[in-house]
Amino acid sequence: MCEIAAGALRADERHAPPALSGMSARPPVFNPAANVHPVRIAPPGARRSDAELIKRTSLEEMRPISTYYFDGQGKAIRPMFTILMARAINYHKGRRNVLLHSQRQIAMMSEMIHSASLLHDDVIDQSDCRRGKPSVNVVWSQKKVAMAGNYILSVACMMLSTIQNNDVTLTVSQIVSDLVQGEFMQLGSKETENERFAHYLTKTYRKTASLIANCMKAVAILSDVDERTIEMAFQYGRNVGLAFQLVDDLLDFVASSTAMGKPTAADLKLGLATAPVLFACERYPELNAMIMRRFQEPGDVKKAFELVHKSNGLEQTRFLAKKHCVEASKIAQSFTKSPYQKALLIMADLVINRMK
C-alpha cells in the first residue's frame, strides 16, 4: 500500500512524492554531547509569539483566549525548525550567525498559525483536553474561541504584510489554504484501501507538513538563495512534517494520556482512520467497515484499537516516518556544515524518537 500511496502527492506540483524506496530507514546517530542542541541555537525569545499578540490586542477579554496555548507547554517545534533552517541557509550563503528580522517574523507567524489552528480544531472537534489542561473551548464559548482563532490569523497576516515580499506572501498564504483544505479532507474518506491511504497522506501534508515546509521555503526566499536551495528547504520541511504527524498518529495508540496531555485513541473516537489503522487493514479487512462508518457503532473504537496492536500497523507507521526523516537528513547534509546544519540533523532524529 505504501508504494501505491506514494503517488498521492504527485498530482499537486507542490508535493514531491514521499520517498518510500531505495534508502535506509535508519536515521543517523548523533553525539548528544555536541554543543548544537536546537533549543540553545533557537532561543525561546525568538520562538514565542504571545508578546506580539498581547501588544496588538486591545480587547482585554480576547487576550487570554488568544494566548491560551502560548503557555510554554507546547513544543514550539515549528518556529524552532524555521529559525534553524534560516540560520543554516544564511550560513550556507556565507552569512554566519545571521538571522534576519523578517525570518524571525516568519518563525513567529508559524506558531501563530499553528495556535489558531488549535483553537479552530478544538471548536470543530469539541475537545475536552489539550496539553494536560481543559481545552480552550471548555473555558470559553465556542463562538469566542472561533473568533479568537480568526484574530490570531489576522495578526499573522499583518506581520506578513510588513515583510513586503510577494513570493513570501504567496508562500505563507498557501499554508492557510492548505490547512482549510486538509480539514475538509479529514471530514471525508475513500472506498478502497489505496485511495484511502493516498487521501490520508495528502490530508496530512496539508494539515501538518505544509506549515513547516512553506515556512522553511519562506525563510529561504528571504535569504535570497537560488531555486534549488529554496526547494531543498521546502522538501526538508515537508519530510519532517509528514514524519512528525505519522509519529503523532502512532503515539495516539501507544503513549499514555498523561504523557500526551490528551486521551489516547483520540483519533478513533473522532472517527478518524490514521496510518496505524490503515496499515492494520491489510491484515484485518474487517476494519474497512468500521472506517466507513467512522467507528460509530458500539465497540468499534475498542475493537479497532485492539486490532491495530495485534497487527504490524504501528511498526509500518514508524518505518514510514523513519523514511521521511532519513530523506530530511539527506537534504540537511547538503548544506554547508555548521552548528545549524547539525541541529537540523538532530531535529530529524528527535522527530522520530519523540515520546509525546
Chain-centroid distance of CA 122 in Å reads 16
Mean predicted confidence (pLDDT) in 261-273: 82
Pairing between strand 129-130 and 133-134? antiparallel
Indicate the pLDDT class of residue 70, thresholds 50, 70 and 90.
confident
Q: Which pLDDT score, from 0 to 100, does residue 72 have?
A: 66
Q: What is the mean pLDDT of residues 156-173?
A: 97
In the chain, what percentage of residues exceed pLDDT 90?
Answer: 64
- What the chain holds in terms of domains, given with CATH numbers, is 41-354 (1.10.600.10)
Confidence of residue 52 (pLDDT cuts 50, 70, 90): confident
pLDDT, position 9: 42
Q: Where are the beta strands (DSSP E) in the chain?
A: 129-130, 133-134
Higher pLDDT, 19 or 39: 39
Query: pLDDT tens digits, residue range 283-319?
Result: 999 999 999 999 999 999 999 999 999 999 999 999 9
Report pLDDT for 7: 46
Work out the average pLDDT over 73-100.
91
- Closest by CA to 205, choosing from 190, 219, 185, 228, is 185
- Asked if pLDDT for residue 269 goes beyond 60, the answer is yes
SS3 256: coil
Exposure string over 137-153, b if 16+ CB within 10 A, otherwise e: beebeeebbbbbbebbb
* pLDDT for residue 250: 96
- Angle, alpha carbons 237-208-157 (nearest 5°): 90
The predicted model gives 124-150 an average pLDDT of 87
Measured distance CA(103)–CA(233) in Å, rounded? 13
| Sign for the pseudo-dihedral over CA of 176, 181, 187, 189 | negative
